[in-house]
Amino acid sequence: MADYLKTDEDMVNYLNLVLEENDPAGLNHALGNIAHARGMTEVALASGLPREALYKALRPTSHPRFDTIARVCTALGVKLVAQPLQRTSV
């Protein structure tokens, strides 16, 4: 997947699609793919996390703290945004 993430817009669109699925493992995996596309060493330095810790935190099977996700998002130049859920009338 990282090979297809050429531009910031590609990365943001990919991340938004994954966020719509509301799957924490998918979010970890997507952030990992984006970090690979940007360069793990660069993202590790920008986030202040050791590279090995970054790899470990962004595995689909890991459960990183929100602080880690926030630091990675900042390093990637993206932010997570809350939106109200679409409610259906009863």
pLDDT at 32 (0 to 100): 94
Q: What digits encode the pLDDT tens for the residues 17-61? A: 999 998 999 999 999 999 999 999 999 999 999 999 999 999 989
Contact 76, 35 (CB under 8 A): yes
pLDDT at 34 (0 to 100): 95
pTM: 0.87
pLDDT at 83 (0 to 100): 83
pLDDT at 53 (0 to 100): 95
Short-list 45, 47, 68, CA closest to 58:
68
pLDDT at 90 (0 to 100): 64
pLDDT at 27 (0 to 100): 93
Short-list 31, 34, 43, CA closest to 10:
34
Average pLDDT of the chain to the nearest whole number: 92
HEC profile for 25-45?
HHHHHHHHHHHHHHCHHHHHH
